[in-house]
A = this chain, B = another copy of it.
């Protein structure tokens, strides 16, 4: 899922988003609550209609902002009390209000409120956040009023295998329509993430969507699919795109590098996106000249790459050659980063 934080995939018009092959978009409850407010989204016919999207949508619950805006939030069993990052006003996010806000925003899938903490953290804190998230899961389910909206529970437990397993088992006893693995990609390394996933996945039902939140790099996605993850969201395609970091099937490309001046080849041969109708040299020029079109086109390319990546994974599963495809894709991801030692940055 491309991330449409404020009901906009940054810089990319919704028609171009659809052309990337994206099926579902994610938006952020905390941010939409502040601007334009869930009432405005509701009056406009709900999130999808508000942003002109015809596919399904999902909202996170604000739990991630408990982590990312930690300096402005106080967490108790009752909920998370924020100071707005915009004007300092008080925002009271409880399981009940997180559900109420998400029901008004009206995505197809809502997420339970969870308590996300940075990693590594002491086991006692991880356990406390995990237990709190479970209690909040039950309160979120109790607060539901919209039968037409799905709700996913979120596994917590940091890097503690037994806590992850306990969290997953408890959540699966609750009537969620899907399950997410949360609290990763918050400072732990790739091996730690893999271990946490390995401890969690056996306890999640294969017949319901399993969603790894906020992940990740292409290699993270490839590896997570191999253990059964079905859904992802990540800001990397657009955020990296805005910073001239381009993803390809042979690794990343830093477009500002001098070696791409005058490079007549597209970012990636065979990519059908509008950016790949241009040369790397032209796109580099856009970034060096500070032209807005650079970030726009780079974002579109990266979104397209991510969709092509998961599409290849999906096809390889159906064709029964996932293991081989995974190996090839992972190997290829390493190539260009080394090749890029070709020239100095400017």
- A143 on the B face (CB < 8 A): no
**In the complex, the 6 A-B pairs of residues with the closest C-beta atoms, listed nearest first:** A11-B292, A36-B285, A8-B293, A8-B291, A6-B289, A35-B289
Contact flag A44-B282 (CB < 8 Å), given A8-B293, A291-B8: yes
Stretch with Cβ within 8 A of B (4 or more), from A193-201, A207-215, A273-281: A273-281
Q: How far is the CA of A52 from the CA of B264 in the complex (A)?
A: 12
Chain B residues, CB < 8 A from A312: none
Q: How far is the CA of A274 from the CA of B14 in the complex (A)?
A: 8
Whether the pair B10, A285 counts as a contact (CB closer than 8 A) is: no
Whether the pair A296, B285 counts as a contact (CB closer than 8 A) is: no
Chain A positions 248-272 with a Cβ under 8 Å from a chain B Cβ: 261-262, 264
A-B contact pairs, 17 of them (CB 8 A): A8-B289, A8-B291, A9-B293, A10-B291, A11-B292, A12-B293, A13-B274, A13-B293, A13-B296, A14-B277, A15-B274, A35-B289, A40-B281, A44-B281, A51-B282, A52-B277, A292-B296
| Residue in B closest to A11 when the chains form the complex, CB atoms | B292
Q: How far is the CA of A281 from the CA of B37 in the complex (A)?
A: 12
7 additional A-B residue pairs with CB within 8 Å, beyond A10-B292, A11-B11, A36-B281: A6-B286, A6-B289, A6-B291, A7-B282, A40-B285, A44-B281, A51-B282
- A322 on the B face (CB < 8 A): no
CB distance from A54 to the nearest CB of B (A): 11
Interface residues on A, range: 35 or more
Chain A positions 288-317 with a Cβ under 8 Å from a chain B Cβ: 288-289, 291-293, 295-297, 300
Instruction: Please state the number of chain copies in the assembly.
Output: 2
Chain B residues, CB < 8 A from A11: 11, 292-293, 296
- A43 on the B face (CB < 8 A): yes
Q: How far is the CA of A277 from the CA of B14 in the complex (A)?
A: 10
- A67 on the B face (CB < 8 A): no
- A176 on the B face (CB < 8 A): no
Contact flag A282-B50 (CB < 8 Å), given A289-B6, A293-B8, A296-B292: yes
Chain B residues, CB < 8 A from A261: 36, 40
Chain B residues, CB < 8 A from A288: 35-36
* Partner of A13 from B6, B8, B285, B297 at Cβ < 8 Å: B297
CB distance from A5 to the nearest CB of B (A): 9
CB distance from A275 to the nearest CB of B (A): 8
CB distance from A103 to the nearest CB of B (A): 19
CB distance from A259 to the nearest CB of B (A): 14
| Residue in B closest to A292 when the chains form the complex, CB atoms | B11
Whether the pair A44, B289 counts as a contact (CB closer than 8 A) is: no
* Partner of A296 from B40, B281, B296 at Cβ < 8 Å: B296
